[in-house]
Amino acid sequence: MLVRQVEQAAGTRVLCLGESMAVFVPAEPGPAHEVRAWTRVVGGAESNVACALAGLGVPAAWVSAVGDDPFGRAVVAAVAAAGVDVSGVHVDPARPTGLYIKESDAAGSPVRYYRRGSAAAAMGPEVLDRVDLADVGVVHVSGITAALSAACRDLLRAVLDLPRTGFRVSFDLNWRPALWVGEDPGVLRDLAARADLLLVGADEAETVWGAARPADIRALLPEPETLLVKQGAQGATLITRDPATGHDLPPVFEPALRVEVVEPVGAGDAFAAGFLAAVLAGWPPARSLRAGHLQAANVLRTHHDMADPLPPETVGDLLDADPRAWAAACLTAQGVCRG
């Protein structure tokens, strides 16, 4: 199983760096302007990945900054409760914790951010002074951080400048158009090119870079040793470079697992966690893609950014299923149906 294989690997800890916020979601049906009751949860791409990894048995740490306020304490407590190391989180006495409001919709959940001037937006390269990379196998960051401030962009550059002493840097594009209003997203190309593992959705790559096919994205970004292109309900394609020859191996495509979608938010983070766990376990490309699909499908069937782990027997059966059985399977709120 996945957890046991990861725990046997050296340098397995994953360090995730980025902002997390208090999130308010409707606690009753109806349009947002009529909703009177809201539920406070926690959200943030990088901490979502860390929490999902911890749920898979992979040691994970989350590095960020929060305000010295009730929301900040709630965010840190929630991530810690998932089994994530939060010792690298800075509590800012002057700046607040970011917030966002999310409506719930299977076709896409509108969000409204209230994060300008947040504690995390003030993060800069000095954050790395409190980061221990001794047993880290992957440092995971995303393009969201680049949108927060010039200081945050400098932080990402500093992360990507780190000498690769036993770890790789994973960069998820995580395009959030609302954060880039009035900003130049051109910086994302330069940041992505310097990553070792690049994760990108085909739809967001088309919006940001004008390229949607895996081959076209690879032509635009030949530098990363691994390119993962998530193609929604169609599947995902993995392109890796052969270290012996320096040339790309043939692309590997794995179809997505069918799922009854409740809400799409958080699925990309779950995919990243499943994929990174599989990479650390040394799994082959197709199996690594299936690991990502399984985690994404699990989150797609909930209203939340994270979900309780799937039963180990379900994971094992689906990871080892032949192509016909995989295609026939569907993940629902009740479990796995066939055909």
The catalytic site residues sit at 269
CB contact at 8 A, 189 and 209: yes
Alpha-carbon dihedral sign for residues 286, 241, 283, 278: negative
CA atoms within a 13 Å half-sphere pointing along the CA-CB vector of 75: 35
Q: 238, 256, 239: which is closest to 296 by C-alpha?
A: 256
Q: How many angstroms separate the Cα of 38 from the Cα of each of 32, 112, 114, 300, 305?
A: 10, 14, 16, 21, 16
Element (H, E) at 91: strand 90-92
Beta-strand pair 111-114/99-102: antiparallel
Separation CA 74–CA 98 (nearest Å) = 12
CB contact at 8 A, 128 and 156: no
**Helices and strands, number each (H, E), in the chain:** 12, 17
CB contact at 8 A, 35 and 79: no
**319 beta partners:** none
Separation CA 311–CA 295 (nearest Å) = 12
Residue type, 312: P
Residue type, 212: A
CB contact at 8 A, 49 and 72: no
